[in-house]
Amino acid sequence: GQEDDWLQIALSDTETGYINQHVLNSFPDHTLSHYLKGKTIVIDPGHGGHDVGAIGANGTFEKDLTFITAIELQKSLETLGAHAVLTRQKDEFVSLSSRATVANTYHADVFISIHYNSFPDVPSVQGIDTYYYRDEDKVLAEQIQTSVVKNVQDQKRNVSYGNFQVLRQSHQPSVLVELGFISHEMTEQNLQTKSYHQKLVQGIIKGLATYFIIR
């Protein structure tokens, strides 16, 4: 559970306690990695193939950016001892139901669908959104949103209910993240660099680890 900045954690089967969100955020990455070891994370790079997704200010395809981020996330999670599975292995079209099926088949501890946003009519719009479908997944969404925003110092937008098929059909803890607006020229430029993708990934990982600590 969560009350303001205080997160409720299980100390044992019968006892619970509280730890401040800011304390968790100060933990070194190698400490948080303890909570990721052995976890199965299914990573869904949004779009693919003929479905290019959103198009950036200078013509970047969302499908390419989601795949780059997903590969970086997979590598980082596996380095920390997690089992990371991609819903697509290359630039190919995969149906929404098939993506959710991967999470269910692997009995994923978490399913995370990666996307980028676009609002070309107002190119100044920027920021990160995270969506959940089931109420019990709201805490997962909040932890990932908070950690990613802090790591890349982008604008925090919303943690919201999202009636998306990949979330509805996944029976595992699931979120869909919109990691920025590629219609915003600076965001699109940042996403041409490996270092920015790594910052996004580090934020996701810290959010996942925090979720496992308080779950």
Tokens for 209, please give them.
């680890």
d(CA 102, CA 85): 8
pLDDT confidence of residue 27? 60
- What is the helix (H) or strand (E) element at residue 115, kind and residue range? strand 110-117
Instruction: Bin 55: left if φ > 0, else alpha if -120 < ψ < 50, else beta.
Output: beta
Residue 28: is its pLDDT beyond 60?
no
Q: Looking at residues 174-194, what average pLDDT do you find?
A: 97
pLDDT confidence of residue 13? 73
pLDDT confidence of residue 157? 87
At 168, the amino acid letter reads R
Q: Looking at residues 128-149, what average pLDDT do you find?
A: 96
Q: Looking at residues 121-133, what average pLDDT do you find?
A: 96
Please measure the distance between the N-terminal and C-terminal CA atoms of the chain and give it in whole angstroms. 8
pLDDT confidence of residue 23? 64
pLDDT confidence of residue 22? 66
Confidence (pTM): 0.87
Q: Looking at residues 30-57, what average pLDDT do you find?
A: 92
Residues labelled catalytic: 178
Residue 147: is its pLDDT beyond 90?
yes
Residue 176: is its pLDDT beyond 90?
yes
What one-character DSSP code corresponds to residue 5? T
pLDDT confidence of residue 191? 97
pLDDT confidence of residue 171? 97
Q: Looking at residues 3-18, what average pLDDT do you find?
A: 77
Contacts of 99 (CB under 8 A, 6+ apart): 44, 87, 88, 113, 166
pLDDT confidence of residue 143? 95
Per the model's pLDDT, the better-predicted residue between 92 and 32 turns out to be 92
Residue 24: is its pLDDT beyond 80?
no
